Structure formats: C-alpha cells, structure tokens
C-alpha cells in the first residue's frame, strides 16, 4: 500500500501542476505551490474518504480488509481529478 500511496501522491502532484499551468497559475510561485499542494491533497483526501467509508463498513462486517481497495482508491481519485480539471478549465475560459 505504501508504494501505491507514493505513486498516487506523485500522480496527484503532476496533475495538479498541469492544472495550475492550464489555469494560468505559476506553479513555482508561493501562491502556485499552495495551489498545487491544495489541489493534490484535496483529490487524495476525497478519494480516501469515499473509498474508506465502504471499506470501513466492510471491515466491520467481515473483519478483513476490503478486496480491491487500492484499485478503488485509484479509480475514485481519477474520477475526482477529471471532474476537478473540467471544472477548473470551465471556470478559467
């Protein structure tokens, strides 16, 4: 899980940097770094919460980890990122 979390963090930072550039925010400036970090961390947090709730319920019932949880986190993160990018681009056009 730790390798997957590291890969997810790197992917989130790359996507957030691309969104910052597309939105006209300089990702190297102080405000840009904050924008990139907030965008990346928010997407990861939303994915973990949306997958964590059913995974927690599954664990309470079965007393074992939910199968496919890592894949589910990646899938939810990807959907959240696509929606965030679309919203960001529509706001800045």
Mind listing the pLDDT tens digit for each residue in 63-88? 999 999 999 999 999 999 999 888 87
Q: Output the pLDDT for position 90.
A: 84
Query: What is the Cα–Cα distance from 76 to 20, expressed in whole angstroms?
Result: 21
Query: What is the Cα–Cα distance from 66 to 85, expressed in whole angstroms?
Result: 29
Q: Output the pLDDT for position 87.
A: 85
What pTM was estimated for this model as a whole?
Answer: 0.86
pLDDT value at 92 more than 80: no
Q: Are 58 and 66 in contact (CB under 8 A)?
A: yes
Q: Output the pLDDT for position 69.
A: 92
Q: Output the pLDDT for position 45.
A: 95
Angle in degrees, CA 89, 84, 42, rounded to 5: 135
Q: Output the pLDDT for position 22.
A: 84
């Amino acid at each position: 899980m730790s390798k997957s979390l590291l890969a997810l963090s790197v992917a989130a930072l790359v996507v957030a940097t691309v969104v910052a550039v597309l939105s006209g925010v300089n990702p190297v400036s102080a405000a840009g770094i904050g924008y990139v970090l907030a965008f990346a961390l928010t997407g990861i947090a939303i994915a973990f919460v949306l997958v964590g709730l059913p995974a927690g319920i599954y664990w309470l019932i079965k007393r074992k980890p939910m199968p496919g949880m890592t894949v589910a986190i990646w899938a939810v993160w990807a959907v959240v990122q696509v929606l965030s990018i679309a919203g960001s681009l529509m706001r800045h056009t």
